[in-house]
């Protein structure tokens, strides 16, 4: 019966000059998310985005089942509702409300008594003869009459079932549910960033969180072939593919750090290896970001989680680059990251066993506080450090 979906977004994000860009971005993203459903037309009408069937007809239930989970991935959306679009006439609105009431409200009332109900009307069309409250009263009375003996309880504040009614200039709409969107800002409303994506739990969550704030992301992963198996890369490929469901596909750069790791093993203090690996990762990532117009780096670091994430070590690692490094999980407990990872479906992939590049030649007791000067001194012991980094960058394999 539904021939439309109302998509709502926060007005706050759409103030001023940004409004047009924000809305266009959201419309494009929704169209992209629904590309495989095929039959949808997405367009905006003052303050709302509407998804209709191209032919104006009703969506089948299988089409609706395909559409709704996709809309739940459209960052920027506050909520959305399957709706019936109608002419701007009270008779048509009433008739449709009465026709739908048995299936939704009537069905709930059959299961138990005292179901609470209300109608919420919004009239942006000021030429419509009834005011919002009058529309509500009209619809409640008509529905009460239709349902006859079986009674619902009116509750204007906490109703279990709400019938929404919007009367706009061009059309009216009725809807019975409001599903939560993911919030945030449309991906693409902020500049592109580069996420350092490991096969762990945190970095996929970090990538998701920056996308939620409007940044499309590319990914870079470090492996240590042949010391890590191809499964290490494959795991990250799967994570990147999964994360790309929230954005128009980001590129994945696969980088083999092993040549440098061997030099660090042979030339440097063993306890500083992890910090030196990390500084190299950031340096390489910064170069890749500069070459692909990414404006910040993103990591899944959280303060104090492991030896390389003490404040002192994070500082020493950070000083390897000039570029802004975003750490969306900086204050998160592992449990909080896990909860998000489960909700977005990356947890399952992160749990696939595969060795991490950082564990190659990893010291049994890593230093928890490496001063910057010491790290720099260790790096000077590596012959042709910069040339090695350049060679590693030249050998990066990029998958679109
Ligand atoms: P994660 O669960 O994301 O691996 P973690 O808690 O295991 O994080 P570390 O392994 O110390 O912490 O990594 C900290 C951050 O450094 C990661 O979140 C990621 O952004 C980056 N990183 C670590 N290893 C790699 C790698 N092999 N490839 C790309 N990025 C990495
Ligand atoms: Mg890790």
Secondary-structure percent of the chain, ordered helix, strand, coil, rounded to 5: 45, 20, 35
Total number of residues shown for the chain: 400
Nearest CA-CA partner of 101 in 71, 141, 132, 41? 141
Give the Å distances, CA to CA, from 7 to 46, 160, 181, 186, 314.
12, 21, 9, 13, 41
Helix/strand/coil for 24? helix
Helix/strand/coil for 374? helix
Q: What is the pLDDT of residue 111?
A: 86
Nearest CA-CA partner of 152 in 101, 83, 84? 101
Q: What is the pLDDT of residue 358?
A: 85
Helix/strand/coil for 292? coil
Query: Which of the 8 DSSP states describes residue 351?
Result: T
d(CA 268, CA 94): 78
Residues with CB under 6 A from ligand 1: 196-198, 200-203, 221-222, 281, 299-301, 305-306, 308-309, 356-358
What are the b/e assignments for 48-82, b being 16+ CB within 10 Å? bbbbbbeeeeebeeebeebbeebbebbbbbbebbb
H/E stretch holding 86: strand 77-86
Task: Write down the H helix ranges in 148-194.
Answer: none
Q: What is the pLDDT of residue 106?
A: 83
Residue 274's CB is within 10 A of a number of other CB atoms, namely 23
Q: What is the pLDDT of residue 149?
A: 66
Q: Whose CA is nearest to atom 25 of ligand 1?
A: 198
Q: What is the CA radius of gyration of the chain?
A: 27
Q: What is the pLDDT of residue 12?
A: 76
The answer, as to whether pTM is greater than 0.85, is yes
The minimum-distance atom of ligand 1 relative to the CA of 195 is: 20
Which structural domains are found in the chain, ordered by start?
4-180 (3.30.2130.30), 193-399 (3.40.50.620)
Supply 196's token pair.
Answer: 């350092």
Query: Which of the 8 DSSP states describes residue 105?
Result: I
- Helical pair 90-101 and 132-147, crossing angle rounded to 10 deg: 40
d(CA 138, CA 92): 12
The minimum-distance atom of ligand 1 relative to the CA of 337 is: 2
Distance from Cα 146 to the centre of ligand 2, integer Å: 61
Helix/strand/coil for 364? coil
Distance from Cα 230 to the centre of ligand 1, integer Å: 18
Nearest CA-CA partner of 286 in 301, 296, 276? 296
Q: What is the pLDDT of residue 174?
A: 98
* Residue 77 and residue 8 in contact, taking contact as beta carbons nearer than 8 Å: yes
Distance from Cα 300 to the centre of ligand 2, integer Å: 8
Query: Which of the 8 DSSP states describes residue 185?
Result: B
d(CA 270, CA 114): 71
Supply 170's token pair.
Answer: 């061009």
Q: Which residues contact 157 (CB under 8 A, 6 or more apart)?
A: none
* Residue 306 and residue 275 in contact, taking contact as beta carbons nearer than 8 Å: no
Distance from Cα 359 to the centre of ligand 2, integer Å: 9
Per-residue pLDDT of the chain (400 residues; tens, 9 = 90+): 899 999 999 877 777 888 889 999 999 999 999 999 999 999 998 889 999 999 999 999 999 999 999 999 999 999 999 999 999 999 999 999 999 998 888 888 888 888 999 999 999 999 999 999 999 999 999 999 998 866 788 999 999 999 999 999 999 999 999 999 999 999 999 999 999 999 999 999 999 999 999 999 999 999 999 999 999 999 999 999 999 999 998 999 999 999 999 999 999 999 999 999 999 999 999 999 999 999 999 999 999 888 778 999 999 999 999 999 999 999 999 999 999 999 999 999 999 999 998 888 989 899 999 999 999 999 999 999 999 999 999 999 999 8
């Amino acid at each position: 019966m539904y021939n439309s979906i109302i998509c709502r977004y926060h007005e706050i994000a759409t103030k001023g000059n940004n409004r047009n860009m924000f809305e266009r971005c959201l419309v494009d993203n929704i169209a992209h998310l629904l590309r495989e459903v095929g039959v949808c037309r997405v367009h905006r009408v003052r303050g709302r985005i509407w998804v209709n069937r191209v032919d104006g007809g009703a969506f089948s239930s299988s089409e609706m089942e395909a559409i709704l989970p996709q809309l739940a991935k459209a960052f920027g959306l506050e909520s959305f509702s399957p709706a019936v679009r109608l002419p701007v006439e009270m008779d048509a609105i009433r008739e449709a409300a009465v026709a739908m009431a048995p299936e939704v409200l009537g069905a709930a009332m059959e299961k138990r008594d005292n179901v609470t109900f209300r109608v919420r009307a919004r009239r942006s069309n000021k030429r419509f003869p009834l005011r919002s409250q009058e529309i509500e009263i009209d619809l409640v009375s008509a529905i009460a009459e239709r349902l006859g003996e079986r009674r619902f309880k009116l509750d204007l504040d906490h109703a279990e079932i709400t019938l929404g009614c919007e009367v706009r200039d061009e059309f009216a709409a009725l809807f019975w549910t409001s599903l939560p969107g993911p919030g945030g800002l449309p991906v693409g409303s902020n500049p592109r960033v580069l996420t350092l994506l490991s096969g762990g739990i945190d970095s996929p969550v970090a990538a998701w969180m920056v996308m939620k704030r409007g940044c499309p992301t590319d990914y870079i992963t470090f492996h240590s072939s042949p010391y890590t198996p191809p499964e290490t890369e494959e795991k990250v490929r799967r994570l990147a593919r999964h994360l790309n469901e929230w954005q128009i596909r980001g590129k994945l750069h696969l980088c083999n750090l092993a040549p440098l790791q061997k030099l660090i093993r042979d030339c440097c203090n063993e306890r500083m290896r992890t910090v030196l690996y990390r500084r190299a990762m950031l340096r390489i990532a910064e170069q890749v970001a500069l070459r692909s117009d990414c404006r910040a780096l993103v990591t899944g670091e959280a303060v104090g989680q492991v030896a390389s994430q003490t404040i002192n070590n994070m500082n020493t690692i950070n000083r390897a680059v000039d570029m802004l490094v975003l750490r969306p999980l900086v204050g998160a407990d592992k449990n909080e990251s896990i909860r998000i990872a489960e909700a977005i479906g990356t947890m399952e992939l992160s749990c696939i066993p595969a060795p991490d590049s950082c564990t190659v030649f990893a010291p049994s007791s890593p230093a928890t506080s490496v001063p910057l000067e010491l790290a720099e001194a260790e790096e000077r012991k590596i012959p042709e450090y910069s040339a090695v980094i350049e060679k590693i960058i030249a050998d990066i394999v990029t998958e679109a």
